[in-house]
Structure formats: structure tokens, C-alpha cells
Amino acid sequence: MTNAHVVKNAAKVTVTLIDGRTFDGLVRGTDEFMDLAAIRIKPSGKPLPTAPLGRSDELQVGDWAIAIGNAVGLDSTVTLGIISSLSRSAAEVGIPNKKVNFIQTDAAINPGNSGGPLLNEFGEVVGINTAIRANAAGIGFAIPIDTAEKATGTDLGRSREERLIS
């Protein structure tokens, strides 16, 4: 799972893991209105690194937030902040064509962080880093993981993690 704007107009992508392994990926679907995309890879070798999923509906303003991504091309950047607000409308964020209520954080989200995870203090994925306000500093937005999970469908017999990976 990543942002649709990250894979815009692509059918194939290269997925690079933190351990340096790369895989060919196929874009299985995108939702421009939610800014979500699903990518399928065929992993080989050692198991994929994973992070447990949290519940974005359990977040509270003031909770710790950790943003991970490749900020401005710098691989594996990690920033720390708090959850600043919940349920920010797309219009408030400045992207009114999206159909998402965002998590707001002051954990630095920069160009290149899009599609990376927003974690809670327990290392659980609670959001997908998505946007910043160009006219402000320290204001970033993430798609709640509960919203992303619903967008992947229900696929009976598969775990939450499997649905997000495939």
C-alpha cells in the first residue's frame, strides 16, 4: 500500500526494502480520490520486514507519532512528533478533491515521505504519510490506516496484514 500520487501513471514499479533488496512490483489498483494504491510484489529469499498494524480510531491528540520515509531523497528518514489533530477534512488540508479525513501530525513529513508509514509509540502503523501544507512548517497529514484497510476490501480468510500487503 502506498499513495496513488507516488505511482501515478505507472503500471510497474521497483520496491526497495530497508535491507537493500529490490523487487519488481505491479500496481494492482489506485484510488485517486483517496490517494491510495496497492502494489503486488513476489518476495523471495528471507521474509519481508513488517510492522504491525495499529488502529487509527484509537489515536488521541497528543499521542506520539513517528513518520518514516525517504524525505527529499534521503533513505530511511525517521522523524518524531505528536498527533496534532484528527479527522482533518481534505478541504482543510488544502486538497479538496480527496475523499479522506486525515490525521494531522507535526512529525516532519517532507517530499519523499509519501506512502511511508506513520507509526504510534508502539511501532504500529496508524497512517500512510501523504501531504504537507506548502504554506506552513511542521504540519503534515496521513491517511488513517483504518481508512486504508477498508479500501483494500474484506477478502475473507486473509489477515489484516495480508490484505494490505497484496
pLDDT tens-place string over residues 86-131: 999 999 988 888 889 999 999 999 888 899 999 999 999 999 999 9
The reply to whether 76 belongs to the active site is no
Task: Please give the pLDDT value at position 140.
Answer: 94
**Bridge partner residues of 118 (DSSP):** 67, 127
Decide if 53 contacts 160 (C-beta within 8 A): yes
The reply to whether 5 belongs to the active site is yes
Task: Please give the pLDDT value at position 94.
Answer: 86
Long-range CB pairs of 136-139, under 8 A, 24+ apart, other chains included = 138/81, 138/106, 138/108, 139/84, 139/104, 139/106
Task: Please give the pLDDT value at position 152.
Answer: 76
Q: How far is CA 73 from the centre of its chain?
A: 17
Q: Which residues of the chain have pLDDT under 70?
A: 153-166
Decide if 67 contacts 109 (C-beta within 8 A): yes
Query: Which of these is catalytic: 31, 44, 114, 146?
Result: 114
Instruction: Give CA–CA dist 114/117, Å, rounded.
Output: 9
Task: Please give the pLDDT value at position 153.
Answer: 64
